[in-house]
Structure 1
Amino acid sequence: MLSRTADHLFWMARYTERAENTARMLDVNIQTSMLPQSIESAEQGWRAMLGISELQSAFDKKYGVLNAKDVLDFMVRDPDNPSSIAACLTEARENARAVRGTLTTEVWETQNATWLDMQQHLNSGVLENDPSQFFEWVKYRSHLSRGVTLGTMLKDEAIHFIRLGTFLERADNTSRILDVKFHGAKEAGISEKATQRDFYYWAALLRSVSGFEIYRKVYRDVITPERVAELLILRGDMPRSLLACMDEVVQNLKQVSNDVSSDTERFAGKLHAELQFACIEDILEAGLHETLTEFLQRIFELGNRVSRNFLVPLAA
């Protein structure tokens, strides 16, 4: 496969996944902002939202004073924010259009329809009147895109590059959410005690990765920080956990292996093995923040290696 074609497929998937992840985080933040809390706590939640995406400085430069309405506008439709939902879905559609001949008709039409419908949704005022409805629509379109891709495309290199993009982006996002939310819990004085306030905090984190019902099924007990971390890092049967993402990355890398990718495969395999054989007690003892920071650095490096080995090289 031509490296440029692989590059478009890879980034089509990453942008689609990024839009969904942003919608998840914003939706949960809106729900938790409705709970009884101080103005400072509510503002801290929105700042954490910007921090997850490393957009705090860009927001401050444009808006100065923080409020929920401006954060929503910045993260959903702002053309100057390359990580906004509108920008991500536009980029996903443009990457799909560039490789229209490689995609099935169903996959292309799904991407194109998502972009067209997004314009109508944003112009209809739904973001102002019922933002959760808009975020559910974004998540649904992302699910639809993945389902149509798996259900209609030949299982060749094209689909493996799409899956690589999806799960590298998902691993990056899950680790960012965990790091910011656990750090936020310390600042807010949220502890292991099963208070109502703590329950809503950890439940919101789980819902942001569709993990609340899974947690109840797996642990059948009160929500504790250790188990939340274990579920989202080390459970291979949790679809958005770091281990589950690395399972997919390693498998798909193996399918597109070439003459220069052996070091990249070893790099990914080592990261995967460390997660596979880790235990949550060791991770917490070493420091969750330190572990997640290192993981983010390695996922970033892995993405760069994939680009060098298979895709259009990144600009120096």
Structure 2
Amino acid sequence: MNDIIKALNLEDDTIRLVEIITNQNSLTKTVVIEKPLVPHVCPICGFSMYSKGITHRKAKHQILLDGYKLHVEMLSRRWVCQNQDCKHSEQDEYLFIEPRKRITNLIPFLIINELKDINKTCSMVAAHFNVSDTYVHDTFTKFVDMKRLPLPRILSIDEVHLDINEKTKLCCVLMDFETREIVDILPNRWETTLDAYFYSISFQERGNVEYIVSDMYSEYLTFPHKYFSVTHRTRNVQLKINLTEEEKALFQNKMKMANCKTMNHFLRKVVSESNIYVVDLQPFREIQGLLSRYANSVNQIAKRVNSTGVIYSDDINDIKQQIEHLSKEICLIHSLLLDRTTKKGDDS
């Protein structure tokens, strides 16, 4: 008997096991317990108290033991003070269950353990333990403290499919792009949810965010100017250039010629005042390709002549045709270059 009480984790040394009722059809076992019958004294006036009957109270204690679902039924006596001027009454209470509730103290821990499965929703856990969705949610927030991390310098925003309920299939994940740590997870990507979350964070902390990384989801695109004002900031950008000793000497020489004392001054002067020349090398690459093909053809003919000692008329004609084609292409490219030069002169 006591072993069964220990298995149920009923932490109350004053209870006594009355009987165990087994139902083979529903595969349930009902454990009936009661308080020992001992004299009671009124805590108000000190008179003796008498029992006014027994009430049956059932507790939800969803534990599977040997394939059976266990229920706990408590027999509680109501005690009434014999003093007619007092009439104080009280009922037997059990330590493993809170007054006026039907859920044992073990149920919250079983719920927390069940919620470790990421594939189970609050409604699924509530149905398993025969409690409400609200109770499961309140239990989770009571025992699990998951404080968010501070907003990082680079905030990465994405979504993941969790299937929390029928309306919200995707939750919003906030992550530190540099450390890859999860900052927080929001239940959905709705505008109302995002507004309530980010506006609850101080403007000073939101000011720590310098960059936002996200996809092209329309709501995410409003983040920079809506929550963080990232678009209105100015930043110093460092530009690193690797130079050889010769290039460095040439660079410093040109700095002196431009009357610039610092490299930053010289670079700004070059960017703002220097002319940019665009050189299109594509026509010359085409000529180079034609010359390469012509050289390969002549080389093949020369190898054949050296091996046989005979020059065929077809080879001579082939070389003539390639020379004519090469001349035409060079003339065409030359005319194109002249046209471009003329147009640039007119534009200037």
Q: Structures share a fold, TM > 0.5? A: no
**Structure 1 length-normalised TM:** 0.17
Q: Answer with 1 or 2: which has the greater Rg.
A: 2
**Structure 2 length-normalised TM:** 0.16
Q: Which has the higher contact order (CA 8 A, sep 6+)?
A: 1
